[in-house]
């Protein structure tokens, strides 16, 4: 299964940690870091969004301010291939997160709260398990 991780540009290190964990468990994850200099960023993100079958949204103070993250969420919510496979992940302390800025549509989803994602491997597994749960209920294969 192909997974798109929506995150703020400033959270690239955290997104890579999540991506590496998902890849270890057999998921295919699009990684902006693999783009070559001069490649068209917008075209590559658009293609990755079209090809993905699930989205992990890393909710942090920075991502809640990001126009791109908002656009990616809007795209996924409207696409049939993402139905039931958008996983919102609160990857910040609730004290640091302005919950009023979480997109209203994501508030309808069960969220995963992983405030120590940068250090805690068990919290990474919660994301992997959530993806496995939604894919197995759909009959999709991880790899």
Using one digit for the tens of pLDDT, what is the confidence trace for 17-69?
999 999 999 999 987 777 788 888 888 889 999 999 999 999 999 999 999 99
Domain membership of residue 8 (yes or no) is: yes
State how many domains the chain has. Answer: 1
Can you give the residue range of the structural domain that contains 48? 2-138
Residue 139: pLDDT band (50, 70, 90) is low
Number of CB atoms found within 10 A of residue 16's CB: 16
Distances (CA, A) of 73 to 46, 95, 102, 139: 12, 23, 11, 23
Place of tokens 């940690």: 17
Compare 136 and 141 and report the one with higher pLDDT.
136
Domain membership of residue 44 (yes or no) is: yes
| Global pTM value | 0.89
Domain membership of residue 100 (yes or no) is: yes
Domain membership of residue 143 (yes or no) is: no
Residue 142: pLDDT band (50, 70, 90) is low
Using one digit for the tens of pLDDT, what is the confidence trace for 82-100?
888 999 999 988 888 888 8
Q: Judge whether residue 120 has pLDDT over 90.
A: no
Q: How far is 128 from 104, CA to CA, in rounded Å?
A: 24
68-74, Cβ contacts within 8 angstroms, sequence gap of 24 or more: 68/9, 69/6, 69/7, 69/8, 70/103, 72/4, 72/6, 72/45, 73/6, 73/103, 73/105, 73/106
Range in 42-46, 74-78, 80-84, 138-142 with the lowest mean pLDDT:
138-142
Indicate which CATH number applies to the domain containing 123: 3.40.50.10140
Can you tell me the mean pLDDT for 3-21? Answer: 93
Q: Judge whether residue 121 has pLDDT over 60.
A: yes
């Amino acid at each position: 299964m192909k997974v798109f991780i929506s995150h703020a540009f400033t959270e690239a290190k955290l997104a890579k940690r999540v991506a590496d964990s998902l890849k270890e468990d057999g998921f295919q994850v699009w990684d902006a870091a693999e783009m070559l200099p001069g490649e068209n960023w917008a075209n590559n993100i658009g293609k990755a969004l079209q090809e993905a079958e699930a989205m992990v949204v890393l909710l942090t103070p920075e991502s809640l301010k990001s126009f791109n993250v908002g656009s990616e969420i809007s795209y996924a919510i409207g696409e049939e291939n993402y139905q039931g496979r958008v996983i919102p992940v609160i990857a910040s302390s609730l004290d640091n997160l302005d919950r009023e800025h979480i997109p209203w549509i994501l508030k309808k989803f069960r969220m995963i709260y992983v405030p120590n994602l940068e250090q805690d491997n068990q919290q990474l597994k919660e994301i992997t398990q959530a993806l496995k749960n939604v894919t197995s209920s759909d009959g999709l294969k991880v790899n």
